[in-house]
Amino acid sequence: MYLTLDGVEKKFQSNTNNEVKVLDDISFEVEKGQFVSIVGPSGCGKSTLLYLVSGLEKASKGKIEISGEQVTKPGPDRVVVFQEDGLFPWLNVLDNVTYGLLLKKMPKKEAEAKATEMLKLVHLSNYADSYPHQLSGGMKHRVAIARALVMDPDILLMDEPFAALDEQTRMALHNELLEIWRKTKVTVLFVTHNIREAVLLSQKIIVMATRPGKIKATYHVQTTQDGYTPDSVTLDLEQKILATLEEEMEKVLKEELGDDYNFKKSDIHRDTNGDMGSGI
Amino acid sequence: MVIWEVASRLSTVPTFMFPGVLQVLETLFNGIINGQITGAIFQSIGRLLVGFTIAVIVGLILGYLIWRYKLVDDTLGFLVVALQSIPSIVWLPLAIVWFGLGETAILFVVTIGATWTMTMNTTSGFKNVPTLYQRVARTYGSSGFHLLRTVIIPASIPQIISGLRLAWAFSWRALMAGELLGAGGGLGHLLETGRSLGQMDLVISVMIIIAIIGTIMDNVVFTRLEKNVQKKWGLS
Ligand SMILES: Nc1ncnc2c1ncn2[C@@H]1O[C@H](COP(=O)(O)OP(=O)(O)OP(=O)(O)O)[C@@H](O)[C@H]1O
Ligand SMILES: [Mg+2]
Q: For B82-102, what is each residue's pLDDT tens digit?
A: 888 888 888 888 888 888 878
Q: Do A88 and B136 touch (CB under 8 A)?
A: yes
Structural contact between residues B200 and B17, judged by C-beta atoms closer than 8 angstroms: yes
The alpha-carbon gap from B58 to the nearest alpha carbon of chain A, in Å, equals 25
The alpha-carbon gap from B65 to the nearest alpha carbon of chain A, in Å, equals 24
Domains and CATH numbers, chain B: 37-233 (1.10.3720.10)
Separation of CA A51 and ligand 2 centre (Å):
10
Q: How many residues does chain A have?
A: 280
Q: In what order do the strands lie in the sheet with A35-39?
A: A78-81, A155-159, A187-191, A35-39, A204-209, A214-220
A54/B contact by beta carbon, under 8 A: yes
Does A47 sit in the ligand 1 pocket, CB within 6 Å?
Answer: yes
Considering only residues B135 and A270, tell me which one the structure prediction assigns the higher pLDDT: B135
Interface mutation target, options A88, A135, A154, A155, chain B, most CBs of B under 10 Å: A88
A180 strand-pairing partners: none
Question: Omega into A212 within 30° of 0, i.e. cis?
Answer: yes
The alpha-carbon gap from A103 to the nearest alpha carbon of chain B, in Å, equals 7
Query: Mean pLDDT, to the nearest integer, of B217-235?
Result: 85
ipTM of the complex: 0.80
Q: Do B139 and A86 touch (CB under 8 A)?
A: no
Which residue in the set A84, A103, A151 is minimally distant from B142, CB to CB?
A103
Burial class (CB in 10 A: 0-12, 13-18, 19+), B149: exposed
Does A245 sit in the ligand 1 pocket, CB within 6 Å?
Answer: no
* E-only strand ranges, A198-248: 204-209, 214-220
Separation of CA A44 and ligand 1 centre (Å):
7
Comparing CA positions, the residue from A145, A150, A187, A148 lying closest to residue A163 is A145
Please give the residue of chain B at the shortest CA–CA distance from A83: B132
pLDDT tens column, B111-164 = 998 999 999 999 999 999 999 999 999 999 888 889 999 999 999 999 999 999
pLDDT tens column, A48-104 = 999 999 888 888 888 888 887 887 888 888 899 988 889 999 999 999 999 999 988
The pTM for the full model equals: 0.81
Query: Mean pLDDT, to the nearest integer, of A237-242?
Result: 78
* E-only strand ranges, A40-139: 61-66, 69-70, 78-81
Average pLDDT, chain A: 81
Domains and CATH numbers, chain A: 1-66+156-162+180-280 (3.40.50.300), 78-152 (no CATH)
Comparing CA positions, the residue from B171, B187, B68, B43 lying closest to residue B114 is B171
Query: Mean pLDDT, to the nearest integer, of A168-196?
Result: 85
Query: Which ligand 1 atom minimizes the distance to the CA of A208?
Result: 21
